[in-house]
Structure 1
Amino acid sequence: MTTFPEYIAQNEERDGVRFSWNVWPSSRLEATRMVVPVAALFTPLKERTDLPPIQYEPVLCSRATCRAVLNPLCQVDYRAKLWACNFCYQRNQFPPSYAGISEVNQPAELLPLFSTIEYVVQRGPQMPLVFLYVVDTCMEDEDLQALKESLQMSLSLLPPTALVGLITFGRMVQVHELGCEGISKSYVFRGTKDLNAKQLQEMLGLTKPSAAQGRGPGIPHCEFSCRFLQPVQKIDMNLTDLLGELQRDPWPVTQGKRPLRSLGVAMSIAVGLLECTFPNTGARIMTFIGGPATQGPGMVVGDELKTPIRSWHDIEKDNTKFMKKATKHYESLANRASSNGHIIDIYACALDQTGLLEMKCCTNYTGGYMVMADSFNTSLFKQTFQRVFTKDVQGSFKMAFAATLEIKEIGTGGTCQWKVCGLDPSTTLALYFEVVNQHNAPIPQGGRGAIQFVTQYQHSSGQRRIRVTTTARNWADAQTQIQSIAASFDQEAAAILMARLAVYRAETEEGPDVLRWLDRQLIRLVGEHTCRVSATIDPNRKQLIPVFVFSVRSLVFNNSPDESSYYRHHFNRQDLTQALIMIQPVLYAYSFNGPPEPVLLDSSSILPDRILLMDTFFQILIYHGETVAQWRKAGYQDMPEYENFKHLLQAPVDDAQELLHTRFPMPRYIDTEHGGSQARFLLSKVNPSQTHNNMYTWGQESGAPILTDDVSLQVFMDHLKKLAVSSAA
C-alpha cells in the first residue's frame, strides 16, 4: 500500500500539485480548526518528458456555468457515447470525432496516467514573440559596455521571426526606429511628462489600418508598428550596431547630484507602444536599470546625493516623499500590461537601492523576472540573463506568454480565473480554498473533492496551448476520522503556504502584527493537535513547522526595502524545494572523517577542522574552519604529501559550481574563512545555540559562539510547548 509521503511525491511528480492536507475536512468549522487552510502549491508548467502535446482541442462540459474539461474522473457511458461531468454532473454527448471510443480504445484524456494533459489549439494564427528592450544609459562606461554586450548576445539567442524593439532613456526617452538603413532615427520624449496610449499612438504615427489595406489574420495592427518592432532576421546587424554605438546619457551631472533618470516615463512608453501594436499577444518588456528614477512620474528619490533613498525607518515614520505616488504610477503600468498579457522584467544592477519596492508590482502582476545585482559587469547578471533564454529539448524557450489560469472545483458552480502573463517551468502558485459546508450539513462521507486547473498560454513556438490538470482528494469527518486527516498533513507544503500568507500580510500590515499573527497560528496549530490528536499522530509529522516559522521570523531583519521586495518576489515564485532552501538554508560539512554530510544549521556545526558549504538559494557560501584556513594559508594543498587536503578543498568548490550552473537567478558566490569579513553571511543564518552569553557554560565542547541577543531554536521551542499546552488546556 502506498504511504502518504509516497502518494504526495507521486502527485507532485505527475501533476505539479502539493496540498497542505491530502484528506479534507467536510465542514467549514472543522476546516477552521485545522489552523492551516486547505491550500495547494501548483506548478502549471512542471516539466515532464513523457507529456507530448495532444494535437486536438479539449472536450468541454456543455453547461455554460461549468465548461470543465473531460478528464479521467468523469463517468463514461461508452455504449451511448455520453460522459457525465464530475463537477456539475451534466451529461454530455461526445463529439463525432470520438465515435470509435470504447473500454479498450480510450482517448488519452480518460487515462489516469494523463491527469495532466496538454492540448494544442488548432484555430487562430500563430503569433510572433515580442521583446522590447528598455535600456538605462545613466551609468558608468564599464557597466554600459557590459550591458551592451549582454544585449547583443541575447539577439543571437532569439528566434529569427521574433520582433524586437529598443527604448533608451536618461534625462530624455528615445524610441528607436529600427527599419532605417544606414541612419539612426529615434523619437525623443521629455522625461517629466507621462503619455497615455492614445497620445503615444498619435505621436509615433501608429494609426490603425483602414479596411482598404486588407489586413490578413494574425498581421499586427499596421505596417507602421514595424518601424519600432522588427523581426530579428531583418535588423540583426543594424540593431547590433545600434547597441554598440549607445553612449552614456550626454546631459552633464553636477557634483553632488544624481543623474536625471526618467525610468517611469520610459516604462510607460514601452507599455503604451505594445498596447497600441500587440494587445493580448505574448510580449516581454525587458527593463535594465542602473539606478533609481530621479525625475518625472515614478521618481523614487530626488537628484541630491545628500538625500538618501527611503529606508524602513523612513517608511515606518511615513517620511517618504515620493513612495506613494511612485507606487501608484507603477501599479497603473502593471495593470495595463497585465490586462494585455504583456510581461515586465526588471534587471536592477547598482550598489544602492533602485526602487524595486515601488516597482515590484510590475514583475509580480505580470509574471516577469526580477534580478538584482551590484553591476551589469558581474557574472551574476550576465549568466542569469543568458539563462532567461534557456531552451528545452525541442529547441523552444522555457517561457510561456499571455498565460491565464482558471480553476474549476466541486461545490461553487462558478469559476475563478487569473491573468498570470509570464510562466516558466519553475513558476509555482499558491492557491487557498475554503470549505463552505456548515457544520450541521457536512459534505457526505465517501465522496471525493475534485479540482481542475486549466492553464492557457502562448507557447514560445507561437502556438496557443491549454494544459489541464485534474486532481481529487477524499473528504472525511474530523469527528471520527481525525487520524486519517492528521496523517495526510504535508508539513513542507504547509510551511511554504503559511509563509506565503505571512509574506502577503507583510506587504499590507505592520511588521510586528505579522509576527504576532504567525506566532498565534503556530501556537494554535501545535496546541490544537496536542489536544485532539496527541495519541494518534506521529509527532515527527509536524516537527518541521515550528523550525520553519522560527526561520521565517528571522527573515524580516537586515534587509533594505529593495532587498525585501526581491527576496519576497522569488519566494512567491519558486517551487517548493527552492522555497524551503530560502526559509531553511542547507548546510553540508566536508572533513577527513568521511564523505560530505548534511549538518544542522547551527553554531555547533562550525568546527575548526571542517569546511562548510551553505546554500541559501541567493548565496552559495564556502566557509573554511580555523584550522583548515591556517593549513590553506600555509600552502599544504600544494605539497605532494598532502594530496588528500587538496581534494578536500576542491570537493565543496565542485559541488558549488554545480549549483551555480543550474539555478535561476544565479546565486552570489562567497568564499570565506574563520574570522573573514564575509563569514557574517554564515553566522547570520545559523541557529545561535552558542552565543557570547553562554559560551563559557560548563560542558560546552565545541562550535562557534554567535554574537547575538536573539533566542536559539531550543529556547523558542521550549516557550512554544508551554504556550501550546496552556492554550489547549
Structure 2
Amino acid sequence: MAEFMDLEVQDGVRMPWNVLPGTKQEATSCVVPVSAIYTPIKPFPNIPVLPYSPLRCRTCRSILNPFSIVDFSAKIWICPFCFQRNHFPPHYSSISDDNLPAELFPQYTTIEYEDRVSNASSPAQPPVFMFVLDTCIIEEEITFLKSAISQAIDLLPDHSLVGLITFGSFVHVHELGFGQIPKTYVFKGSKDVTKDQILESMGFFLKKPKPTIGVVAGARDGLSADAISRFLLPASECEFVLNSVLEELQKDPWPVPADQRAMRCTSTALSIAASLLGACFPGSGARIMAFVGGPSTEGPGAIVSKNLSEPIRSHKDLDKDSAPHFHKAVKFYEGLSKQLVHQGHVLDLFACALDQVGIAELKVAVEKTGGLVVLAESFGHLVFKDSLKRVFQSGDNDLGLASNGIFEINCSKDIKVQGVIGPCASLEKKGPLCSDTVVGQGGTSAWKMCGLDKATSLCLIFEIVKKEIPEAAVPTASNQFYFQFLTYYEHNSGQMRLRVTTLSRRWDLIAGFDQEAAAVVMARLVSFKMETEAEFDPIRWLDKALIHICSRFGDYQKDSPSSFSLSPRFSIFPQFVFHLRRSQFVQVFNNSPDETAYFRMILNRENVANSVVMIQPSLISYSFHSAPEPALLDVAAIAADRILLLDSYFIVVVFHGSTIAQWRKAGYHNMPEHQAFALLLQAPRDDADAIVKERFPVPRLVVCDQHGSQEAGRLPGPLLGLVKNGSASSNGSQAQKQLFQLVHCKGLYLDAEIRYQGGRIIVSHARFLLARLNPSATYNNDAPLPGGDVIFTDDVSFEVFLDHLQRLAVQ
C-alpha cells in the first residue's frame, strides 16, 4: 500500500477504489462505496501559498488546476469537470509552456491561495476562549481542575480573549473587567434563558440603548465594546483576575441529599455561553471549552433525574427506547448545534468523571461544530491534563487549530455526492452534484467546519450515476474521473486561506484497491448505521459485505473452499473486518453510551493510519533474540521472555512476559552486569512515550505483567455483601459507586478486569492486551505454547472465521 501512502503524502487523500467502477451496477457490486478519506488542512512541507485570488470556471466554479487543458496561443483553458472554455484574464497574458503559473504545475495538485486584498480589508479577529467549568464535583477534583485551567491560561496567546462561566445548581457568568471585587451574574439552572434576557440582565444596554430593529450581534450591531470587554478580555489583561477567581472557586454549595445526585445544569450553562458569544463575537473563531464532571440533572439537556434510584441510561435502554430523558436532551443539543454553526463557534468537551456525563447526547453539538472531545476518569488524570496542554501547545506537536471553515466539492458529471461522515454541518447547498441517497451530512455539496485542525479528516461518500456504457465506449480502466475539494478557512495566523486539492483516478480496479481506506470507510458506515437505523444488525451487515467482496474478487472454483484465494490487494481486508467486528465501534457490551459515542467521534475525525490502529491495533515484540519487530495480533505472540507493546490508539499497553517480570522484580536491571536487560526494559517505554507525546487525545499508558494482578484494597463488610449478592437496588448502586471510588483512589483503570477474592479487590490490567488479541488459544481448545497464555472467551478465532468465509464465498 506504499503507493496509496505516497498519494496521501501529496494530497491528504485515501480512497478505497483508486479507479472508479464504470457504471452504477458495477459500483453496487463492489460493496465498499466509492468514497474518500480527506484531511483538508493536512500540513505539507512544500505546499505553495499563492498571494492572489484563484481563477474559477464561469460555469461550474471549479478552480484552474493541473488537469485543465490549456491553449496557450488563444489564452484559453478548458475545465475538466464541465468542459467549459474559459478565457485567461489579462494578468495571465505571459503564460506559455515554459512559463506556467504554479496552479498548473503537475506536482501541485494541492495548493493554497491567500487573498491579501480581502485579508487587508477585514483584519483578523483574535481567538476567543470561553471556559465553562462544572463545580458539582468533589474538592479534590476542583483542585485538579483549577490547576489545569491555570496552566492552560498561561499557554494562551496574549491577544486571545478569555471568558469564564461556572455552573452547578446555578450558572455564574463572571465579570472579569471589574477587578476590584469578584462580580458574577447568576442564572437559574432549570430556567430557559433567551439571548435578549441575558443581555438585558447583564447590563449590556446601560450606556448604549438597545437597537429597535435588527439582530444584536457584535460591536457593529449595537453592543458597546466596553460592555463586551467586561466579560471577554485579552489574556494578558485578565490573567491576574482570572487566577484570583479560580483560587476562590469552591464546590457548589447547594446541599445534596444522600439519596440524590447533585443539581448540575450543564445544558443551561452551554446555552448561556453560546448566546453570549453569539451576541459579542458572531462569525469569529470562538471556542466554548466545557469541563464536565458528572451527569446533567437540571435543564433541557438533563440525562437523568436527581434521584439515585433512577439509573443512568444504558445501551439496552436506548435500544428499547426506555431512556426517558434521551430524546429531549438530543433535541436540545441539535438546536444548540444549529445556533453554534450559524455563529461559527466551536464546542469542545472535556468529560472527566467515573460516571457518564452525557457525551452521547452532546455528540451532535460537538461533532457538527468540529469540537475536540476528551474522556477521562479524573481531572487529575494524565489523559486529561496532557490533552489540555496539547490544545494550546505550539511547536512540532501543536494541533494546528483553524476555524471558520467551509468545505466544497466539485466532481465529474457521472458522480454525485451522497454525503459526508465527520465533524461538519451541512450548508444545504442544493445542486446537480447532490445524490437522492443521503449518507451522513448529505443533500448538499458544501459544509461548514466551524473548527478543524491538521488531523481532522472527512469521509466523503459518492454515487456512480452512469447506468450503462455503450459498446463503442472506452474501457472502464481508461475512464478519467476528477474530484476537486475546496477548503476555505481561517489559518491559525489569522489569515483567510483557500486550499484546493484536485484529483484524478485511473487504474486497474483490483490494483487500485486500498484495503486500509476501505476498512476505515466501512467502520464509519457501520457506526453511522448503528446510530441511525433501527433494528440494524452490524455483524450480519459486515459479514454479508465481506462475503460479497470475496465472492466478486476472489479466485476459486465453485463449491470448492480449498481452491479459494485472494489477490494480495484484498488479502488483509478480511482480517480488518474480523477485528472491526470485535472492536468497540461494533461491540457496545461493557461500554457505556458515553464511551461508545466518544470512540465513534474520534473515529469520525481521524485519518486512515490512526483509524486503522483503532480497528486493528499494532503489536511490537521486544526480546533478546531480535530487534523490535511487528508481531501478529494473536495470543501466540505472548511469551515468557518477551515484552509486547500494544497500541490500540486509546490505550497503549506495555506487557511483560512472566520471566521478564520476575527478573524485573528481582532488580536485575539495576545491576551493572545486566545492562542489556535494562535496555530491553526501557525500549518499549521509550516507544510508548513517543506515541503518547504525539497523539491527541493523549492515550492511557498501561504497564502490566503476564499473570500479574494488583490488589486495590479490602472491601468493607456491608459493601462486600452487596457486591456478592449483586443487588440492583439503590443501595446496590451506591455500593457500586463506593467500589468505583475505592478502585479509583488507588489510581487503577475502571475497565481493567476486577474480581473479588477473599474480600479483596484484585485488578488485572493484562485484559487490555488479551481483549484485542486473536483468540487462537482459548480455555476450550488447544493448549498454548510453553510460556504463552490463553484467552477466556467464546469468540471464534480468525482461522475459524476465515474458514467460514471461504465456504460461503465459493457458493
Could you tell me the TM-score, scaled by structure 2's length?
Answer: 0.83
Q: Distance in 1 between matches of 2:89 and 2:157?
A: 37
Identify the residue that residue 67 of structure 2 maps to in structure 1. Answer: 73
Q: How does 1:130-529 map to 2 (within 5 A)?
A: 130-206=128-204, 222-223=224-225, 224-392=227-395, 398-411=400-413, 414=433, 416-440=445-469, 444-445=474-475, 446-474=478-506, 484-510=508-534, 513-529=537-553
Report Cα offsets for 1:63-97 as digits up to 9, x if no partner.
2xx11111111122223322222211222222333
Identify the residue that residue 620 of structure 2 maps to in structure 1. Answer: 588
Q: Distance in 1 between matches of 2:211 and 2:802?
A: 71
Report Cα offsets for 1:395-448 as digits up to 9, x if no partner.
997111111110001116547001121111111111111110112559755441
Deviation at 1:701, TM superposition (A): 5.6
Contact 1:170/1:261 (<8 A) preserved:
yes
**Counterpart among 544, 554, 569 of residue 601 in structure 2:** 569
Change (3 A) 1:702 1:142: closer
Deviation at 1:237, TM superposition (A): 2.0
Report Cα offsets for 1:433-479 as digits up to 9, x if no partner.
111011255975544111000001111222211111111112x8xxx
Q: Distance in 2 between matches of 1:41 and 1:80?
A: 38
Contact 2:218/2:279 (<8 A) preserved:
no
**Does 1:36 pair with 2:32?**
yes
Q: Distance in 1 between matches of 2:317 and 2:219?
A: 53
Deviation at 1:264, TM superposition (A): 0.7
Q: CA RMSD in A?
A: 2.5
Change (3 A) 1:333 1:313: same
**Counterpart among 694, 703, 716 of residue 788 in structure 2:** 703
Q: How does 1:546-695 map to 2 (within 5 A)?
A: 546-555=574-583, 556=587, 557-676=589-708, 677-695=764-782
Secondary structure at the aligned position of 1:708 is classed as: coil
Report Cα offsets for 1:318-350 as digits up to 9, x if no partner.
321211111111121112112222111000001
Identify the residue that residue 749 of structure 2 maps to in structure 1. Answer: none
Q: Percent identity?
A: 45
Deviation at 1:610, TM superposition (A): 1.1
Deviation at 1:209, TM superposition (A): 7.3
Q: Distance in 2 between matches of 1:396 and 1:542?
A: 36
Deviation at 1:628, TM superposition (A): 1.5
Q: Which amino acid aligns with 2:779?
A: H
Secondary structure at the aligned position of 1:504 is classed as: helix
Deviation at 1:46, TM superposition (A): 0.9
Identify the residue that residue 115 of structure 1 maps to in structure 2. Answer: 109
Secondary structure at the aligned position of 1:601 is classed as: coil
**Counterpart among 30, 33, 45 of residue 49 in structure 1:** 45
Q: Distance in 2 between matches of 1:401 and 1:97?
A: 32
Q: Which amino acid aligns with 2:74?
A: A
Report Cα offsets for 1:683-725 as digits up to 9, x if no partner.
111110000101349xx66631111111111101100111111
Contact 1:39/1:497 (<8 A) preserved:
yes
Contact 1:20/1:490 (<8 A) preserved:
yes
Change (3 A) 1:432 1:533: farther
Q: Distance in 1 between matches of 2:146 and 2:211?
A: 39
**Does 1:105 pair with 2:105?**
no
Q: Which amino acid aligns with 1:313?
A: K
Q: Distance in 1 between matches of 2:369 and 2:689?
A: 31
Change (3 A) 1:405 1:565: same
Contact 1:581/1:616 (<8 A) preserved:
yes
Contact 1:54/1:120 (<8 A) preserved:
yes
Contact 2:218/2:280 (<8 A) preserved:
no
Q: Distance in 1 between matches of 2:307 and 2:293?
A: 17
How many residues get paired? 707
Deviation at 1:605, TM superposition (A): 0.9
Contact 2:554/2:566 (<8 A) preserved:
no
Contact 2:404/2:490 (<8 A) preserved:
yes
**Counterpart among 84, 96, 103 of residue 78 in structure 2:** 84
Q: Distance in 1 between matches of 2:234 and 2:131?
A: 14
Q: Which amino acid aligns with 1:78?
A: F
Identify the residue that residue 479 of structure 1 maps to in structure 2. Answer: none
Of 594-603 and 101-110, deviating more is 101-110
Identify the residue that residue 481 of structure 1 maps to in structure 2. Answer: none
Change (3 A) 1:179 1:640: same
Secondary structure at the aligned position of 1:260 is classed as: coil
Change (3 A) 1:262 1:58: same
Contact 1:392/1:398 (<8 A) preserved:
no
Q: Distance in 1 between matches of 2:634 and 2:332?
A: 44
Secondary structure at the aligned position of 1:114 is classed as: coil
Q: Which amino acid aligns with 1:103?
A: D
Secondary structure at the aligned position of 2:10 is classed as: helix
Identify the residue that residue 15 of structure 1 maps to in structure 2. Answer: 11
Deviation at 1:598, TM superposition (A): 1.0
Change (3 A) 1:488 1:645: same
Q: Which amino acid aligns with 1:541?
A: R
Change (3 A) 1:217 1:407: farther
Contact 1:586/1:614 (<8 A) preserved:
yes
Q: Distance in 1 between matches of 2:509 and 2:149?
A: 53
Q: Which amino acid aligns with 1:101?
A: I
Of 351-360 and 396-405, deviating more is 396-405
Contact 2:160/2:235 (<8 A) preserved:
yes
**Counterpart among 50, 62, 65 of residue 58 in structure 2:** 62
**Gapped runs of 5+ residues in structure 1?**
477-483
Q: Which amino acid aligns with 1:192?
A: S
Identify the residue that residue 746 of structure 2 maps to in structure 1. Answer: none
**Does 1:721 pair with 2:806?**
yes
Contact 2:176/2:230 (<8 A) preserved:
yes
Contact 2:218/2:281 (<8 A) preserved:
no
Deviation at 1:6, TM superposition (A): 4.5
Q: Which amino acid aligns with 2:455?
A: S
Q: Distance in 2 between matches of 1:220 and 1:662?
A: 45
Q: Distance in 2 between matches of 1:94 and 1:184?
A: 62
Report Cα offsets for 1:596-637 as digits up to 9, x if no partner.
111111111111111111111111111111122222222222
Deviation at 1:510, TM superposition (A): 4.9
Change (3 A) 1:529 1:231: same
Secondary structure at the aligned position of 2:459 is classed as: strand
Could you tell me the TM-score, scaled by structure 1's length?
Answer: 0.92
Deviation at 1:310, TM superposition (A): 1.2
Q: Distance in 2 between matches of 1:644 and 1:392?
A: 35
Secondary structure at the aligned position of 1:665 is classed as: coil
Q: Which amino acid aligns with 2:92?
A: Y
**Gapped runs of 5+ residues in structure 2?**
417-431, 434-443, 709-763
